[in-house]
Amino acid sequence: MTYRVIDLFAGVGGLSYGFAHDPEFEIVAANEILKPMAEAYSKNHPSVKMYNKDIKDFSVEDLTRDLALKKGDIDVIVGGPPCQAYSTVGKRLIDDPRGKLFQEYYRILKELRPKVFVFENVKGLLSMQKGELIETISSLFASIGYHLQMKVLNAADYGTPQIRERVILVGTLSDKPFTYPKPTHYNPELGSPKNKSLKPYVTLGEALGDLPSIKTGECGTHYSKKPQNSYQKLMRENAPSEIVDHEVPKNSERLVALMEALPDGGSPKDIPEDLRPKSGFANCYCRLWWNKPSTTITRNLGCPSSSRCVHPKDPRPLSTREGARLQGFPDNYVFCGRRGDKHLQIGNAVPTFLSSAIKDAIKDYLKGKHNPEEKELTLF
């Protein structure tokens, strides 16, 4: 049996990546309002019907007209409305234009009635409006018959070379409990785990070590060495003959000197005072660690004055391709538009390894496999 999937607020396909690469799932349609993102999604997933439109203009009528699909034909919906929509308190969200994105997600669930939906968002959603917002969201989903479970998952626990925590809210029409995926990796800084099958976190160095060293304003097109580990091998499967997007903007001499002075994992407080920036937050102009996972990648991954994104060895920020690798996108994955567009596509994505773990858990659920002993959940 093949399960049909709809991808909302699709971006370049991070949250749906696992579903797209499992033959037991078929992503039949996706919606993404930003044109460069929609173009990138279509280049990577040409068989998916892409609707490049405002979510309020997307409905079951489109699916019926174009794909002969109707209510009840979709098994899974995945998506995460941008958190900018969550700016009001309590039930006023439903009547506030700034809450329209979330309201549209709810509307489409109501129209299509999938067996399962996955809603992803930033961890900060849980504390917005002192917790009232997530309760409002949950109540709205529950009002149309969905049983909800929620958990914060860290992408590093599933093999991503990046610390990235996300709220994963799962809704099911059946009342049988959904089991979240169990971690496959652990943080070695916390000691050895009881579960000896777990692997240590994948480090930035393990993820990027085969990419060539480049300096400010440069572009690297050839791998510096053969794959050194399973992560690099996976990233290079079906890769083009030349590396794409391994490039960085040109920075000023003063900024380069600042970055050169940073030690591994260092910040401006670790360098001579005359090189320190005059302003900026504590995590600005900071170097990443070679032997640790990356901190959370953002759309500003190429801007040293943003949150920690300076390469551990070279005096420059991360390249576009390095950012993609730290999100788990293989080297043949295509991004579209200008550099800023590509960085937005990468920074906004859900890591592919987290997507694959969620996909496996959804598949087990749809096939009737679940573990009622699963704990550490918030139930609604």
Give how far Cα 34 sits from Cα of 42, 46, 56, 112, 345, Å: 12, 17, 14, 23, 10
Cα-trace Rg, the chain: 21
Work out the average pLDDT over 268-272.
95
Does a structural domain hold residue 53? yes
The pLDDT of residue 102 is: 81
Average pLDDT estimate for 253-261: 97
- CA distance readout (Å), 146 to 102, 123, 279, 367: 16, 22, 48, 18
The amino acid present at 256, given as its one-letter code, is V
Beta bridge partners of residue 106, listed in sequence order? none
Q: Is residue 288 part of a domain?
A: no
Give residue for tokens 């309590």.
Answer: 90
Cα distances (Å, whole numbers) of residue 215 to 225, 281, 297, 314, 317: 18, 25, 20, 7, 9
The answer to whether residue 276 sits within a structural domain is: no
- Judging by beta carbons within 10 Å of its beta carbon (0-12, 13-18, 19+), is residue 156 exposed, middle or buried? buried
Please say whether the beta carbons of 325 and 162 come within 8 A. Answer: no
Quote the pTM value.
Answer: 0.93
Residue 88: pLDDT band with limits 50, 70, 90:
very low
Q: Which residues are catalytic?
A: 83
Between strands 49-51 and 3-8, the pairing is unpaired
Residue-range definition of the domain harbouring residue 23:
3-186+352-379
148 part of a folded domain = yes
- CA–CA separation, 144 vs 148, rounded Å? 11
Q: Indicate which CATH number applies to the domain containing 121.
A: 3.40.50.150
**Percent of the chain beyond pLDDT 70?**
92
Give the Cβ contact number of residue 36 at 10 Å.
19
**What pLDDT score was predicted for residue 96?**
52
Of residues 307 and 51, which shows the higher confidence score?
Answer: 51
Q: For residue 335, is it within any domain?
A: no
Residue 280: is its pLDDT beyond 80?
no
Give the count of domains, the chain.
1
